Amino acid sequence: MLTKNLKIFAVVIGTLATFTILANLIPQGTATDVGFGAVAGTPGPATASLDPLEIMRANTCLVCHLFNGEGIQMGPPLDRIGARVDADYIRQSILNPAAGASEGFEELTTMMPLTFGDQLTSGQLEILVEFLAGQR
């Protein structure tokens, strides 16, 4: 009877150990950069697309901004943004959103993720800035 219990115990421990070892073999992403929509453990561009709308969709801009009827209005709408502010301001707003508050949205300055400098390639950033500055 005792040996039977010991056998069961050994099987249970063996099974647990096997699964623990297997689980540890699965690569664990480092959970940094968990911005809105950013995928944990995958720093780098959210998309390879060079299409401004695709870049905005993939980078979750439209989770907080309204553009051309798409998205949600939490931050300032991006329609006609080029008529209000210039390209430098737009670039700064994307790279360093905490630096300056948009008029009327001062309470929300901490909302916008600080990770777009990593998530956008420099090419994508310029495409986006030029595209938005051109919205008049």
List the one residue from 33, 52, 57, 76 that touches ligand HEC (CB under 6 A). 76
Q: Is residue 68 within 8 Å of 94, Cβ to Cβ?
A: no
Q: State the minimum distance, in angstroms, from the CB of residue 128 to ligand HEC.
A: 6
**Alpha-carbon torsion angle 78, 79, 83, 85, nearest 10:** 0
Per DSSP, which regions of the chain are E strands?
66-67, 70-71
- What token pair was written down for 58? 């993939």
β-bridge mates for residue 71, sequence order: 66
Q: Which is nearer to ligand HEC, 30 or 60 (CB)?
A: 60
Regarding 75 and contact with ligand HEC (CB under 6 A), the answer is yes
Out of 61, 82, 115, 131, which residue is the one contacting ligand HEC (CB under 6 A)?
A: 61
Q: Does 101 bind ligand HEC (CB under 6 A)?
A: yes
Beta-bridge mates of residue 66:
71
- Nearer to ligand HEC among residue 15 and residue 96 (C-beta): 96
Q: Which stretch binds ligand HEC (CB under 6 A): 2-10, 14-22, 24-32, 107-115?
A: 107-115
